A and B are shown apart, each in its own frame.
Chain A
């Protein structure tokens, strides 16, 4: 099956000479949730803007649903809903009118039952006749999502959708995204919250200085790049680590009751069995063992640093 979005060797240089994207290629499958991670100024928003038509892009660089975003912009844009980073919304209009306006703009006939259901799904229905200026920041963010979904897009871009919103609303949005995935909508979101990507994404893309460092399934990425930590709890406190164990690079906790061993899950031998055997030889008495995996956040920081 061909990807819903295909970006080929895209380079974007602004008039001031700043190169925001460098030979970036990316394919996004239909129905998946892709999280784009990257520090500020990495090029995430530039990439989204290029796909959505907010930036001038040469032909044959971006294909959306089989349509070139430059040559066949009407067909490609009709498939996309965009929630930009900033809350930019007409303050004097009512919620329902603003959402209906967006639907019309994308060439769809007025459909009150659909709009009403959308507003209900986003907990906006009760306030549908309120002016947007009267809403809280979180509610305005919901209105922007409703506007982006008003024309029933197959692709939804969420550019930092949960920036500055409370935990409850963030979790509500995750539910909305999960529901969209069930209905076959592809979701591309940028975020600074690693836990958000960890929670809802199928694949993770890491972008830095305009370059896509990697795109990989979330679980594979964590398995491939994540190191594991073995915590060994001792029955009685140790004062030092014997020199015979130095090649394991163990660390001892301040109270002397825990030894920590980091190992690579990708390695053919983790060294755990040998370590436990040598600990026994060195007369350490063990109370318990625990393993933990490094988080996506640690993986991300390592990638960007390197």
Chain B
């Protein structure tokens, strides 16, 4: 295992985060704080409790998941797309590094950033609403697994994308609707029965539900289903990346 290479990639990517602190960390925190102000304090104070939880507190796991998902995809896709765009990818491809080492470096850095942002948002939430976590270890585990799996997805996206437009297409047209319709701001029990069934095809439902369970001990779907869903998603992403590096898809001619 080329640990020096993993460390080099990881540190290089983390350095980019700290160079662009405003864009990388402060920006998502401010936008999430605005969600808390609008949905938590302003609208939330007029909403009924959901499953005996104040609305402002109820949306905390959903908001964390919303930001972490988007950030994981954005961080990882940009991290690998930017070297492709600049042409500096030649250095990675000509270096004695395996695809596993490349993934650990890039995805590790992207997931770390998202995880940090997730924790910062959690801390920010405590300034606006009452937050209690029933299963803190499971909460951290689910959060880390989500960061890793969606960073893997972002990595695939970054390799697939041929332009900045394509890079933004998937988050904008697929991920954002899935996240907003995945129960971030509501319980799926509040939907009409037919929509409750349709919603179960949305993978984000399982993530939000799992994280909500770790906070409140109640969820839309069983925690086991959530763990299976996110593990399955992770394995699929690893499989696709393995195929990409074996075939050189959009990397080697």
Q: With contacts A82-B90, A84-B90, A86-B87 known, is A109 near B19, CB below 8 A?
A: no
Q: Tell which of B3-11, B63-71, B198-206 binds the partner.
A: B3-11
Assembly CA distance A54 to B87 (angstroms): 12
Chain A residue nearest to B247 (CB atoms) is A56
Q: With contacts A52-B94, A106-B5 known, is A88 near B252, CB below 8 A?
A: no
A248 at the interface (CB under 8 A from B): no
Q: With contacts A74-B2, A84-B90, A86-B87 known, is A105 near B15, CB below 8 A?
A: no
Q: With contacts A56-B252, A107-B5 known, is A89 near B88, CB below 8 A?
A: yes
The answer to whether A107 and B248 touch across the interface, beta carbons within 8 angstroms, is no
The answer to whether A106 and B253 touch across the interface, beta carbons within 8 angstroms, is no
Hey, what's the 0/1 contact readout for A79-108 against B, CB within 8 Å counting as 1?
010101010111111000100111111111
* Interfacial chain A residues near B88, Cβ < 8 Å: 88-90
Assembly CA distance A74 to B5 (angstroms): 12
* Interfacial chain A residues near B248, Cβ < 8 Å: 56
Q: How many of A's residues come within 8 Å of B, CB to CB?
A: 36
A147 at the interface (CB under 8 A from B): yes
Assembly CA distance A56 to B86 (angstroms): 21
Hey, what's the 0/1 contact readout for A49-79 against B, CB within 8 Å counting as 1?
1001111100000000000000001111110
The answer to whether A88 and B95 touch across the interface, beta carbons within 8 angstroms, is no
Which parts of A155-214 form the interface with B (CB within 8 Å)?
none
User: B10: shortest Cβ distance to chain A, in Å?
Assistant: 10
| Residue of A75, A82, A100, A101 touching B94 (CB-CB under 8 A) | A82
Q: With contacts A56-B248, A74-B96, A77-B96 known, is A105 near B253, CB below 8 A?
A: no
A126 at the interface (CB under 8 A from B): no
* Interfacial chain A residues near B4, Cβ < 8 Å: 104-109
The answer to whether A105 and B252 touch across the interface, beta carbons within 8 angstroms, is no
Hey, what's the 0/1 contact readout for B88-116 against A, CB within 8 Å counting as 1?
10111111111000000000000000000
Assembly CA distance A100 to B95 (angstroms): 14
Chain B residue nearest to A82 (CB atoms) is B94
The answer to whether B98 and A80 touch across the interface, beta carbons within 8 angstroms, is no
A15 at the interface (CB under 8 A from B): yes
| Residue of B8, B19, B252, B253 touching A104 (CB-CB under 8 A) | B8
* Interfacial chain A residues near B86, Cβ < 8 Å: 88-91
Chain A residue nearest to B16 (CB atoms) is A92
The answer to whether B90 and A88 touch across the interface, beta carbons within 8 angstroms, is yes
B235 at the interface (CB under 8 A from A): no
Which parts of B1-30 form the interface with A (CB within 8 Å)?
2, 4-5, 7-9, 11-12, 15-16, 19
Which parts of A2-55 form the interface with B (CB within 8 Å)?
14-15, 49, 52-55
Q: How large is the interface on B (under 10, 10 to 19, 20 to 34, 35 or more residues)?
A: 20 to 34
The answer to whether A14 and B93 touch across the interface, beta carbons within 8 angstroms, is no
Q: With contacts A55-B252, A56-B248, A56-B253 known, is A107 near B90, CB below 8 A?
A: no
* Interfacial chain B residues near A102, Cβ < 8 Å: 91
* Interfacial chain B residues near A100, Cβ < 8 Å: 8
The answer to whether A14 and B94 touch across the interface, beta carbons within 8 angstroms, is no
Assembly CA distance A206 to B96 (angstroms): 30
Hey, what's the 0/1 contact readout for A232-247 against B, CB within 8 Å counting as 1?
0000000000000000
Chain B residue nearest to A48 (CB atoms) is B94
Assembly CA distance A56 to B19 (angstroms): 35
Q: With contacts A56-B252, A88-B88, A90-B86 known, is A106 near B96, CB below 8 A?
A: yes
Assembly CA distance A78 to B9 (angstroms): 17
* Interfacial chain A residues near B7, Cβ < 8 Å: 104
* Interfacial chain B residues near A82, Cβ < 8 Å: 90-91, 94
The answer to whether A54 and B5 touch across the interface, beta carbons within 8 angstroms, is no
Interface centre among B8, B92, B98 (most CB of A within 10 A): B8
User: B176: shortest Cβ distance to chain A, in Å?
Assistant: 28
The answer to whether B253 and A73 touch across the interface, beta carbons within 8 angstroms, is no
* Interfacial chain B residues near A103, Cβ < 8 Å: 8
User: B137: shortest Cβ distance to chain A, in Å?
Assistant: 34
Which parts of B50-96 form the interface with A (CB within 8 Å)?
83, 86-88, 90-96
Hey, what's the 0/1 contact readout for B143-175 against A, CB within 8 Å counting as 1?
000000000000000000000000000000000
Chain A residue nearest to B12 (CB atoms) is A101
Chain A residue nearest to B248 (CB atoms) is A56
The answer to whether B12 and A92 touch across the interface, beta carbons within 8 angstroms, is no
Q: With contacts A56-B252, A101-B8, A105-B5 known, is A92 near B19, CB below 8 A?
A: yes
Assembly CA distance A239 to B17 (angstroms): 81
The answer to whether A77 and B19 touch across the interface, beta carbons within 8 angstroms, is no
Q: With contacts A90-B88, A104-B4 known, is A74 near B93, CB below 8 A?
A: no
Q: With contacts A73-B96, A80-B94, A101-B12 known, is A88 near B87, CB below 8 A?
A: yes
What are 25 inter-chain pairs, A to B, with CB distance below 8 A? A14-B253, A49-B253, A53-B93, A53-B94, A54-B252, A56-B248, A56-B253, A73-B96, A74-B97, A74-B98, A75-B96, A76-B96, A77-B94, A77-B95, A84-B87, A90-B86, A91-B86, A92-B16, A92-B19, A100-B8, A102-B91, A104-B11, A105-B91, A106-B96, A107-B97
